[in-house]
Amino acid sequence: MARSRRRNKRRPMGEINVVPYIDVMLVLLVIFMITAPMLTQGVDVELPNANASPIQDTEEDVMIASVDSSGQYYLDFGGEQTAISLAQLQDRVRKVITQNSKISVLVRGDKNVSYGEVIGLMVALQGAGVPNVGLVTEPDNK
């Protein structure tokens, strides 16, 4: 009789309990859903609408020079987002362009900033040695 009791003991279970993993996954999903809208890239700029086709994405690096509605200049290359003067922007762009001439340069100008501010930025970029400048707009939803 002692032998029959040994046989009825619990055997090791060959399954993994996945409920804790599902709980962790759902918590991470909620965290990412909350934080994703907060991870906006760039300066808050109201771009003008234009009826133009989007440019093709390339594997090259992109440098974005921005001017916001208050006339502050920003340069976004490698995650750096600080307000700088136009002369500092021109110097930084010149240094980057001399190292890698295949970098695309885009200008983001707020639609409420004067036309002269955007042209001044483009002239500074041209003085830094940028051969071609692209303008960033919002798609026209008509």
């362009």: which residue's tokens?
A: 97
Segment 70-95, tens digit of pLDDT? 888 988 877 767 788 989 989 988 99
Q: Enter the pTM of the model.
A: 0.57
Q: Give the pLDDT confidence score for residue 51 in this predicted structure.
A: 67
What are the start-end ranges of the E strands in the chain? 49-50, 62-67, 73-76, 83-84, 104-109, 133-135, 138-139
Segment 19-35, tens digit of pLDDT? 999 999 999 999 999 88
Q: Give the pLDDT confidence score for residue 42 in this predicted structure.
A: 57
Backbone angles phi, psi at 101, to 5 degrees: -80, -5
Kindly indicate the confidence band of residue 60, based on its pLDDT and cuts at 50, 70 and 90: low
CATH dotted code for 49-139: 3.30.420.270
Tokens of 91: 């110097």
List every span in the chain annotated with CATH 3.30.420.270. Answer: 49-139
